[in-house]
Chain A
């Protein structure tokens, strides 16, 4: 079973990375958005492979169901900038590539040097319910109750901010 899941992981990771690359390369903005959806879906499958079912579905619900829809709406609101006709590379692409590779190497180094990276994870108890544990942790005073409520305030701020910026005030409209 171990090798099978490894093969599946490699395929999914390749698809995810490849479509992430296509997001940047694609000339058409809508195509970019659709490649982004595939990338996000690949991440969801990776969550699923890690037995984090809740995160996998949440990834699809939030990122594909809401955020990518928002991105596509935003693209459609603009006026014909969808296909970029200019050159896709400027003279600095070598520098950008070098810095990206260095960042990636640094991240890999940080993760590998973390002692927890080499420890084999214990298999979870069959009766362990991740969602229930998450729910308990979210509201327990020793857990994340403050971030939980603050998340609500943050969402409220985001909502009000979005309305203020995107919506001109119409005093007579109710």
Chain B
């Protein structure tokens, strides 16, 4: 991995106004080779607009971006050669068969002869399209249509892949397959995928960028995103009902604990206490020590993971109030 850290995509204050609406407002981030960047945001946050500018479909109002060193404003054909793009909804010519469609894409990109056959075989193999190659795209299911779009995007083995909601509308098996595919390709490429499914970020992304009302409001690893949750490193303890009564008070007095939530357990004989960490540090040892010293009847004890959906809601809603 000689050039694993090489910057492949660099957005510089990319901005798009539609009349008075700022669809994208000085969006800046960069993606290195080997990274899978999850581009998150509520609907209408500017994800698609940003991707359309990056792929040279829309011209930015201001700002620019570079793909493999080529500027999207001055060298857009070179940018488009380097890019594989799956537009939102995976549009394809409905009358064509996947085979004819892929041949067309190859021809436009100047891949011909034996090379074309090889490229198509590879893309078809990776997206498991073998069974439907000669059926009009019109008659294909949503999952297959999406895969045709993906096959088109990876046909020329691009160094940069931009996928706009690649798993939207797919069933769980298909989602799994597409994620597998992305994970397989991740090593040698820079991949940007937009989604509003948070589990996807945990599943395939090495980085997350959250955008809301056109602005980037988070840029970091999925782990860092998770750590922003108040559930991060919280400890849930299931106790016998008798022990639970004074346990809540004792736990609240622990240093590093911000809050204790008491809930009814699965049955009348027990209670579930959730102990939140004050600054996100691990507190399970402190809780365990306390439980041992007080000789509580502990039925279960576990560390919670951060809740991405809650972080996401907090982050994207916070901007609304600030506005």
> Is A bound to B?
no
Which residue numbers of B lie inside 8 Å of A, CB to CB? none
Which residue numbers of A lie inside 8 Å of B, CB to CB? none
